[in-house]
């Protein structure tokens, strides 16, 4: 009976976490029409208004920069940010909005680093968000991390829990930490939205207190549903109450 009862044991539900305590979301796609996030400025306003209603005081939106698909530049992103801020002002939405980027770790990123044309967030901390391929570990990962650090940037690895090729290679996570790479986790991963293996990896990272930033990675209203679902999850509460988390410092 004990085994059977464990199978059907209800998932623990807590009161919704107050996101005003977290204050800042560090990973989203709210600049209209430049990547796979908000298609129009009206969508941007809807998504950001929803983030404000959830309790966030600031969003740092991070459009993709990928040579094959999203050839964004700081100028394109800055122009889009201006449009979003203007639309939010007209709509009377009181939330701070900044922009950086989510860089795909590819050879072209090395050229961007060399040219000092990198978008960062966090002021003097100069955090730079980058993502890896979901299929294979990039061959020059260590070299690019070194290049970023050598230029005075603080590397931040996006959604570390989602790289399946590292799920059974914990030494890779330890290597990132040893190289002073900050780790960002997606809220949706805690809910199981990316599958049970990713949720399991997220839980292990949370239990070991290794996550530095938690982000929504919000592209559309479905991702807002993920956030709402996570608010009552004990692991989300556990993460947001950990002292190493840096969101509220931005």
Instruction: Specify if 226 maps to a domain.
Output: yes
Distances (CA, A) of 112 to 29, 30, 71, 73, 190: 20, 22, 12, 10, 33
Instruction: Specify if 3 maps to a domain.
Output: no
Instruction: Specify if 10 maps to a domain.
Output: no
Distances (CA, A) of 178 to 1, 36, 146: 46, 33, 12
Q: What is the pLDDT of residue 8?
A: 43
Q: What is the pLDDT of residue 13?
A: 86
Tally of structural domains, the chain: 1
Q: What is the pLDDT of residue 1?
A: 43
Instruction: Specify if 8 maps to a domain.
Output: no
Q: What is the pLDDT of residue 10?
A: 58
Instruction: Specify if 7 maps to a domain.
Output: no
pTM: 0.94
Instruction: Specify if 95 maps to a domain.
Output: yes
Which domain covers residue 139, as residue numbers?
21-249
Q: What is the pLDDT of residue 4?
A: 43
Instruction: Specify if 185 maps to a domain.
Output: yes
Q: What is the CATH number of the domain that holds 187?
A: 3.20.20.140
User: Are 166 and 141 in contact, with CB atoms under 8 Å apart?
Assistant: no
Residues of the chain with pLDDT under 70: 1-11
């Amino acid at each position: 009976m004990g085994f059977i009862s464990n199978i059907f044991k209800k998932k623990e539900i807590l009161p919704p976490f107050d996101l005003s305590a977290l204050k800042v979301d560090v990973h989203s796609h709210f600049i209209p029409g430049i990547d796979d996030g908000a298609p129009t400025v009206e969508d941007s306003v809807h998504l950001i208004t929803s983030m404000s209603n959830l309790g966030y005081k600031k969003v740092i939106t991070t459009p993709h920069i990928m040579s094959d698909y999203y050839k964004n530049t700081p100028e394109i992103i800055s122009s889009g940010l201006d449009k979003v801020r203007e639309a939010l002002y007209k709509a009377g939405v009181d939330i701070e909005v900044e922009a950086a980027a989510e860089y795909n770790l590819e050879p072209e990123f090395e050229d961007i680093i060399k040219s000092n044309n990198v978008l960062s967030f966090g002021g003097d901390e100069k955090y730079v968000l980058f993502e890896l391929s979901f299929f294979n570990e990039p061959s020059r990962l260590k070299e690019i991390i070194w290049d970023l650090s050598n230029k005075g940037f603080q590397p931040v690895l996006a959604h570390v829990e989602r790289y399946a090729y590292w799920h059974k290679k914990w030494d890779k996570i330890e290597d990132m930490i040893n190289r002073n790479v900050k780790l960002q986790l997606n809220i949706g991963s805690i809910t199981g939205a990316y599958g049970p293996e990713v949720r399991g990896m997220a839980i292990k990272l949370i239990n070991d207190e290794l996550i530095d930033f938690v982000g929504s990675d919000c592209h559309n209203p479905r991702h807002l549903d993920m956030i709402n679902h996570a608010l009552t999850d004990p692991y989300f509460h556990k993460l947001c109450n950990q002292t190493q988390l840096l969101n509220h410092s931005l």
